[in-house]
Amino acid sequence: MGFAFHRPENLDAAIAMAREHGEAARFLAGGTDLIIQINRRRLAPQHLISLAGLGLDTIAETESGYAIGAMATHDAVVTHPGFQKQLVALTEASAVIGGRQVRNIATVGGNIVNASPAADLVPVLLTLDATVELRGSAGTRSLPLDRFLVERGRTERRPDEILTAVRFDKPPAHSATAFLKAGRRKAMEISVICVAAHLVSGGKARIAIGAAASRTLRVPHAEASVEKGGPAAFAEAGRLAAEQATPIDDVRASARYRKLLVATLVERALERCAARIEGAGR
Amino acid sequence: MSGQQRRVAGKRLKRIDGIGKVTGKHVYASDFALPGMLFGKVLRSSEAHARIVRLDVSKAAALAGVRCVLTAKDIPQIRFGTAIKDRTMLAEGEVRFRGEAIAAVAATSLEVAEAAVRAIEIEYEPLPAVFDPEQALQPGAPLVHAGWSDYQALPVFDRDGNISGRSSMGSGDTAAGFAQSHRIYEHRFTTQHVHPGYTEPRTAIASWDGNGDVSVWSNTQLPFDMKNMLAEVLDLPANKVRVIVPGIGGGFGGKLRVGVEHFAAWLARKSKRPVKVMTTSEEELTDAYPRQPTVVTLKTGVSRDGLLLAREGKVILDCGAFANSGPATAAIALQVLAGPYRSPNLAFEGIAVYTNKGSTGSFRAPAGPMANFAVESQIDLIADDLGIDPLELRLRNVYREGDRGPAGETLTSVSIEECLRKAAAAIGWTQRKPGAGRGKGIACSWWLTTGGSSGVYVKINPDGTVTVVSGAVELGSGAMTGAAQILAEELGVDLTDINATDVDTHVSPYDYGAQGSRTAFSVGNACIAAAKDLRRQIGELVAPLWNVAPDSVRLEGKGVVSGNKRMSLAEVAGLSQRTGGGLISHGTAIQPMPVFDPNRVKNHPLPAWTSHSFHAHAVDLSVDDVTGEVSINRYVVAQDVGFAINPTYIEGQIEGGVAQGIGQALSEEIVYDGGRVLNANLTDYKMPTMMDMPRVECILIEKPSVNGPYGAKGVGEPPCIQPPAAIANAIAVATGIRVQALPITAEKIALARLKDGD
Amino acid sequence: MTRASLDLTINGETHQLMVEPHWSLLQVLRGELGMTGTKENCLEAECGVCTVLLDGKAVNSCILLAEQARGRSIVTIEGLGDPEHLHPLQAAFIEHGAVQCGYCIPGMILTAKSFLDERHGRVPNEAEVREALSGTLCRCTGYQKIVDAVIAAARQMNSWPEQARRSS
C-alpha cells in the first residue's frame, strides 16, 4: 500500500519521473478514483507523481474554442461562465459526478484517462469532437478523443505521457447540447446509462452514450438518421442507438433495461437540444 | 392533557446534547481511544458453507507489529445468540456464510493488522449450501446447522432443522369464513435485505484491568444485554464486565447485539493491551444485522362490501446462517399482518428459516415493513377489484375502541380512523389520479411500544440543577431529551437544568435498552416515579420547617412552595445535602402486560402488544412514462403519538423513518448472488440522498395511552413501516402496474410496462 | 515506508508532522492529531462524514492524501465555532432540530458552509440546498430539518455577515 509521493516542479520533470519509474509509477490528478483503487488493493503503484501546481488547471478560451486543462476540477467546469449556454451539457455532466466534495477535487483529465465506460463528461466531449493533448518524452501530440479511448480502463496514452488538456471548438450559432443520466437515485450515482447530444440546426448531429458498451460510444447510425430526418427522426435515432449499444447486466441494472434507457434518453436529449435551439432563437 | 398546559413537556425545546454534536466535541465510540491501544481486524470466510481443512496463522503472527492472532482453538467455543445459542465468535471447523469470522488479529496499526489478516492461509472443502428460504424448507435440503437440536434455545420457539422458529396466531374458523366469502384473493409478496445504514461503523475498545475485569467502550444500543452476552462469551461472571457507551452514531436496531465487542475483548485479553475494532462498509454489508428478506403469502376472503371475512397468511423469513431475532420477528409479523383490521377468522403463520447467507436482525420495526407491504398492497388490490375506494375499504374494516386485537386483547386508545382520514384529507384523496403518470396511495398500520423495565437515579444538586442517571442510550432520537423534559416538568425546573449522564453498566441502573420505540416512554415513566419520590422527600424535609402538611408542598418555578412560604430548589437541595445526604431518588417503570387469550397464539414471544399506536401514510408521486423513475411529489404521515413530548424530535423520527422506508421501497437492497453479496459498498447500496427525499408533512395526533408518560406512545419505529405499501399503491394508480417485490426499482416498473405491451 | 515531514495548516494553526505518503488527511486528523470532530465511515467518498474544507471548499478527507493538502488551508469542525460562539450554521442546526445522532453533522455543516460561502450572501432555495449537500448522507433525519437549518443560517449570515465572519 505504501508509495513515494513526488511533486515535480514542471511538466518535463514529471515526464522524466514517469520514465524513470515506468510501470511502478502513476500520475496523480485529483485522486478520487486512483486513491480508492489503491485502498481496495486493485492497484499498487510505488510512486505517485502529483500533477498539481503544473499550471494544468486553467480553462482557456480562444477565439475558436476552449482548452480545458486536465487538472481543471469538475466544479470549475460547472461554474465556468462560457459553458452556460450552448455548451451547457458540459455543466450538466460535470454537475452529476459524485457529490460536491468529489467535484471540488476530481479533474476533467482524470475522468478521461480513467476511461470508465460510465464516465459522465466523456460523452459530452465526444459530441463536441474534442481532441486531447498529450505530452511525453517523445514530445507533444494531439488526437481525437474518440481515438484516444480504447476500452474500459485503456487509452492510447503512453505510460510517460501526461494528458495536459482537452480542446474543442466553439459550437456554431443555432446549436445546442444536452446531457442526461439515469441512475437508481437522484444523486451520488455512477451512471446506469448516460447520453450526450449535440445538435446543429440543419447541420450535424452528434450523439454519445455512456455505460452502454465497453467504452463510451459515438453512435454514427443514429447521428446520420437525425442529420437526414430532423425532429421526426429523434425516436428512430434512439432506437438505432439502442441497437448499437452492448450494455451488460450488473448489480446496477440489466442489459435490457439499459437498452430501453438508451433509446429513451437519446430521444429526449435530442428533443432537449431542439428545444434549446428554438428557445435561443426567440 | 395537551402541551399547552405544560411548561416543558410538549414544547419544541433544543436537545440537551446538541452543542457537542455541532462543534465536533461529542465523543462517539469510534472516536474513543486508549493509550497503547492495538487495532483489531477479522479474517472472514470466502465460502458460504464449507469445512475449514487448513488454517495456518504462522505467517500472520510473525509479522512485525502483530501482538495476537486468535482462531477458534485459542478460545473456549461458547455458543451465543438471542433466541437460539447457535453462533460462536469464531467459526470452528465449519463456516456457514460468506463473511463469517474465522480469525482475529491485533496489531500496532490498522495497516499491519490488515496485512496480517491477508497473510493467514486457509483452505476450504465446500459443503452443500442453500440460499433460498423456500428451498431450505424442502425435505432433503442441506442443513445449515446439522447440530441444531443440541443448541440451547428459548423454549417458546418451535424449531426443526432449517426452521429456526415457527409461530402462529389464529381465531375463529377461516374455512367457514372463506365459504361465506363473495370473493377470495391470493397474493404473494417478497421483500429484500436492507441495512440499517447508520453512518458510524460498529466499534468497540476493550481493556482489561489488573483484577481480570474488562471494560468495553462500544456504540451498542443495549449495554446491559451486551454485558451479559460478553460475560458468556468470555466465560466470566457478569459483574466482571463493564460496558460504557460514550456516544453512538445511529443504531436503528442494527447495534442491538454483539458486533465487534467480543473480538475486541478477546484480543485485549490475550494481548494484554487495549484493542480497538471497527467495522468497514464491506463488513457492514456482509456480516451485520440487516432486515430479513421475506416471502409473504396472503389469502383473504371478503364480503361483497369488502368486509374481511377470513384471512390466512404465511410469512417466511430468511434469517441467514444464524437465527438472532429471526424467530421473534417471524412472530411479530403476525400482528402486523392482522392489524389494524377487525378479523373474525384469522390464521397466520410465521416461519424463520436458516440459509447460508449473512445473519440478520431487528432493524427498526422488525417485520413491520415486510408484512405491511403485503397486507396494505393486497387491501388495494381487493379494493380495485371490488370497485371500492381503498380508503373506504380500510375504514370499513379498521379497529374501533374496545375491539379485540388478534390475541384477544382489548384495544384502547384506538385512533386508526382519525389517522386515515387526516392523512387522506391532507394528500387530497378525492383526486387520486391528478394527471398522467401520477397517483396517490395510502397505507396504514399499528405498532407497539415495547415493554421491558427502566430505572433511573435522579439527584437534585445544591446549585439547583438535576442529574439523571439512566441505563438508556441516546441514539439520536432525542428520547433522553424527551425524558428530561418530563423530569423538568415534574420538578418545576427548565430543561436546561437537567444533565443526563453517559451509560455505564457499573453505575447506571438497568434499562431494557434503546429499542422498540420504548426509550422516552419508559425512561419518562421512571423519571415520573423518581420525581414523585423526590417531592415526598422534599415535602418531608421542609414541612417541619414551615409547619405545614408535607403534601401541601409543591415544586414550581425552580422553587419549593407551600402557601406563602418559598425556598429555591437549590437551597433545599443544599440543606438536604448538609443534613441528610442529599436529595436522591430512584424510579422504575414497566408496562403491565395486557390480558389476552393464550389459545390464540402458539410459540409467540410477544403475543399482546402494549401501548399500541396507529398511523397512516399517504403519498403523491409521479412515474416517468418510459424509464419508470419515481419522483415523490408529497408525503404525508398521520401518526398517533399519544402525547407529543417534543414535536420537533417526533417529526425528526417521522421524517427519518420515512426516508428509510422510501429507501426500502425504491432503491435499497443487499444483492446476493447465491451466497455472495454483490454490492458490499456504499457506491452500490443506495440509500436516499437529499435529492431523493421529499418533504414529509407530519400530522401528530394525540390520543393518550393508558400507560405512557402524559399519555405518550412509542414513536420511533412506526414511520418506516408504511412507505413501501403506500408507494406501491400510488405507483399502481399512476401506472396501472402493481409490483409485489421490493425494492420497486425504475427498472421493474419499466420492464413490467413492456411486458404489458404498453 | 519512511515518513516525510509535512506541515499542515489546520484551522489557522500550523502543525509539523511526520507522515507516510499514503496516509489520508482523515487518518492524519483523527489518528495523528486526535482531532476526532471529523468522522470516518465508508472511506470511499460516498457518505461525506469526513468532509473538511480545503481552501474553503468541501472535500472528502478520506481519499485526499495528506500530502495533497500541503501548502493549502484546512478547516475542520473544530475550527468553526465553539460552545460560547456558535457559527450561525451550528446554531441553526440546533434551533431547527436538524441534529439527531449527530455523526454526519460536522461533515454536513462544513458542506453547507462551503456552499453558502461561495454564494456570497445569496440565500439559496430548497432545491439548491439539496443539490449542494447531496454528497453527505444522513440516515437519521430524512434531511428536511437540515435543509431548513441551512436556509435559516443563510438568512442570518446574509443579514449579519459580521457575526458570521467572527465565528468562522
Q: Where are the domains of chain C?
A: 4-79, 88-167
Task: For domain C88-167, say whether CATH 3.40.50.720 is its number.
Answer: no
> What cell was used for B404?
379485540
What band does C30 get if pLDDT is binned at 50, 70 and 90? very high
**C135, A38: Cβ pair inside 8 Å?**
no
Neighbours of chain C (3+ CB pairs under 8 A): A, B
**A31, C24: Cβ pair inside 8 Å?**
no
Express as a percent the part of chain C with pLDDT over 70: 93
Please report residues of B whose CB lies closer than 8 A to that of A261.
627
Q: What is the dihedral of CA B70, B75, B81, B87, to 10 degrees?
A: 60
Cell 442494527: give the residue.
B254
> What cell was used for B150?
443440541
Cβ–Cβ under 8 Å, residues B572 and B541: yes
CA distances from A209 to A129, A214, B704, C101, C123 (A): 14, 11, 58, 42, 37
Cβ–Cβ under 8 Å, residues B180 and B154: no
Cβ–Cβ under 8 Å, residues B729 and B376: yes
In chain A, beta strands by DSSP E: 4-6, 25-28, 47-50, 59-61, 65-69, 131-136, 139-144, 149-151, 154-155, 162-169, 175-182, 193-200, 205-210, 217-218
Please report residues of C whose CB lies closer than 8 A to that of B648.
96-97, 145
Please report residues of C whose CB lies closer than 8 A to that of B657.
142
**pLDDT at position C168 over 80:** no
Please report residues of A whose CB lies closer than 8 A to that of B679.
251
**pLDDT at position A258 over 80:** yes
Helices (H), B348-438: 368-386, 390-397, 416-427
CB of C28 within 8 Å of a chain B CB? The answer is: no
> How close are the terminal C-alpha atoms of chain B, in Å?
55
Which of B111, B627, B678 comes nearest A261 by C-beta?
B627
Q: Which of A112, A110, A66, A114 is nearest to A86 (CA)?
A: A66
What band does C165 get if pLDDT is binned at 50, 70 and 90? low
What band does C163 get if pLDDT is binned at 50, 70 and 90? low
Cα C56 to chain centroid, rounded: 9
pLDDT score recorded for residue A281 = 73
pLDDT score recorded for residue B2 = 47
Amino acid at site A70: A
Cβ–Cβ under 8 Å, residues A51 and A28: yes
CB of B689 within 8 Å of a chain A CB? The answer is: yes
SS3 B189: strand
CATH class label, A175-281: alpha beta
Please report residues of C whose CB lies closer than 8 A to that of A105.
54, 59-60, 64, 68
Rounded Cα distance, B192 and B162, in Å: 20
Class of residue B5 by CB neighbours under 10 A (exposed 0-12, middle 13-18, buried 19+):
exposed
Which of B656, B659, B683 comes nearest C46 by C-beta?
B683
Helices (H), B511-646: 519-546, 569-580
Rounded Cα distance, B319 and B367, in Å: 12
CATH class label, B294-449+596-755: alpha beta
What band does A254 get if pLDDT is binned at 50, 70 and 90? very high
Please report residues of A whose CB lies closer than 8 A to that of B690.
187
Rounded Cα distance, B393 and B389, in Å: 6
Question: Can you give the length of chain B in residues?
Answer: 758
Which of B678, B689, B690 comes nearest A251 by C-beta?
B678
From A76's Cα to the closest Cα of chain C, the distance in A is: 12
CA distances from C26 to B705, C22, C43, C67 (A): 48, 11, 9, 12
Rounded Cα distance, A26 and B248, in Å: 39
Instruction: Give backbone dihedrals phi and psi of B332, rounded to 5 degrees, phi first.
Output: -60, -30
Cβ–Cβ under 8 Å, residues B148 and B319: no
Rounded Cα distance, C100 and C79, in Å: 22
Cβ–Cβ under 8 Å, residues B276 and B37: yes
pLDDT score recorded for residue A110 = 97
> What cell was used for C17?
508532522
Please report residues of C whose CB lies closer than 8 A to that of B33.
34
B residues 15-34 lying closer than 8 A (beta carbon) to C: 15, 17-28, 30-31, 33
From A169's Cα to the closest Cα of chain C, the distance in A is: 30
**B22, C140: Cβ pair inside 8 Å?**
no
Q: Which of B693, B697, B621, B705 is nearest to B663 (CA)?
A: B693
Neighbours of chain B (3+ CB pairs under 8 A): A, C
SS3 A237: helix
User: Please, which residues have CB within 8 angstroms of residue A214's CB and are 6 or more apart in sequence?
Assistant: A117, A151, A152, A246
**A4, C133: Cβ pair inside 8 Å?**
no
From C71's Cα to the closest Cα of chain B, the distance in A is: 24
Convert B73-142 into a string of H (helix), E (strand) and C (coil): HHCCCCCECCCECCECCCCCCEECCCCCEEEEEEECCHHHHHHHHHCCEEEEEECCCCCCHHHHCCCCCC
SS3 A231: helix
**A32, C131: Cβ pair inside 8 Å?**
no
Buried b (16+ CB within 10 A) or exposed e, C111-132: bbbbbbbeeeeebbeeebbbbb
Amino acid at site B258: V
CB of A190 within 8 Å of a chain C CB? The answer is: no
Cβ–Cβ under 8 Å, residues B153 and B60: no
Residues of chain B with CATH 3.30.365.10: 3-27+451-589, 294-449+596-755
Cell 430505572: give the residue.
B455
Rounded Cα distance, C90 and C79, in Å: 12
Cβ–Cβ under 8 Å, residues C99 and B25: no
CA distances from B9 to A134, A139, B492, B684, B699 (A): 68, 75, 11, 42, 18
pLDDT, tens only, A71-115? 999 999 999 999 999 999 999 999 999 999 999 999 999 999 999
CATH code: domain B32-127+199-250+255-284 is 3.90.1170.50
Fold of A59-169: 3.30.465
CA angle, A144 then A150 then A156, to 5°: 65
Residues linked to residue B346 through DSSP beta bridges, in sequence order: B171, B311
Domain spans in chain A, listed from the N-terminal domain onward: 4-49, 59-169, 175-281
Rounded Cα distance, B265 and B78, in Å: 14
pLDDT score recorded for residue B1 = 41
> What cell was used for A136?
511525453
Please report residues of B whose CB lies closer than 8 A to that of A253.
747
Task: For domain C4-79, say whether CATH 3.10.20.30 is its number.
Answer: yes
The residue of chain B nearest to residue A250, with distances taken between CA atoms, is B678
Neighbours of chain A (3+ CB pairs under 8 A): B, C
Rounded Cα distance, B351 and B137, in Å: 10
Amino acid at site A44: A
**B111, A1: Cβ pair inside 8 Å?**
yes
User: Please, which residues have CB within 8 angstroms of residue B621's CB and are 6 or more apart in sequence?
Assistant: B438, B439, B440, B441, B630, B631, B632, B633, B727, B730, B731, B734
**A98, C59: Cβ pair inside 8 Å?**
no
Please report residues of C whose CB lies closer than 8 A to that of A101.
45, 48, 51, 58-60, 111, 135-136
Rounded mean pLDDT, C69-98: 96
**C93, B28: Cβ pair inside 8 Å?**
no
Rounded Cα distance, A50 and A68, in Å: 18
Q: Which residues of chain B have pLDDT under 50?
A: 1-3, 758
Residues of chain B with CATH 3.90.1170.50: 32-127+199-250+255-284
**B751, A256: Cβ pair inside 8 Å?**
yes
Which of C83, C140, C144 comes nearest B250 by C-beta?
C140
> What cell was used for A37?
483503487
**C134, A32: Cβ pair inside 8 Å?**
no
Task: For domain A4-49, say whether CATH 3.30.43.10 is its number.
Answer: yes
**C93, B478: Cβ pair inside 8 Å?**
no
Rounded Cα distance, B110 and C22, in Å: 13
Run of H or E residues at B187: strand B183-191
Please report residues of A whose CB lies closer than 8 A to that of C115.
100
Which of C58, C67, C134 comes nearest A187 by C-beta?
C134
User: Please, which residues have CB within 8 angstroms of residue B640's CB and are 6 or more apart in sequence?
Assistant: B413, B415, B416, B418, B419, B613, B614, B615, B701, B702, B703, B713
B residues 263-302 lying closer than 8 A (beta carbon) to C: 280-281
Cβ–Cβ under 8 Å, residues B175 and B301: no
Identify the architecture of domain B3-27+451-589 in CATH. 2-Layer Sandwich (3.30)
Q: What is the dihedral of CA A111, A113, A115, A120, to 10 degrees?
A: 20
**C140, B651: Cβ pair inside 8 Å?**
no
Which of B14, B33, B251 comes nearest C94 by C-beta?
B14
B residues 181-200 lying closer than 8 A (beta carbon) to C: 196-200
Instruction: Give backbone dihedrals phi and psi of C10, rounded to 5 degrees, phi first.
Output: -125, 125
Cell 408529497: give the residue.
B634
pLDDT, tens only, B378-407? 999 999 999 999 999 999 999 999 999 999
> What cell was used for A256?
435490457
